[in-house]
Amino acid sequence: MSPLASIALSGLGAASLQLQSSAHNIANAQTPGFRRQQVIQEARTDGGVDAAPTRATVAGEALAEDIVNQMQASVLYRANLAVLRTGDRMLGSLLDTQA
The predicted-structure confidence for 86-98, as pLDDT tens digits, reads as follows 998 888 777 777 7
What total of structural domains would you count in the chain? 1
Q: Reduce the secondary structure of 1-62 to three states and give it as a string.
A: CCHHHHHHHHHHHHHHHHHHHHHHHHHCCCCCCCECEEEEEEECCCCCEEEEEEECCCCECC
What are 27-83's pLDDT values in tens digits? 999 999 999 999 999 999 989 999 999 999 888 889 999 999 999 999 999 999 999
Tally of residues, the chain = 99
Whole domain around residue 58: which residue ranges?
Answer: 3-98
Q: What is the pTM of this model?
A: 0.84
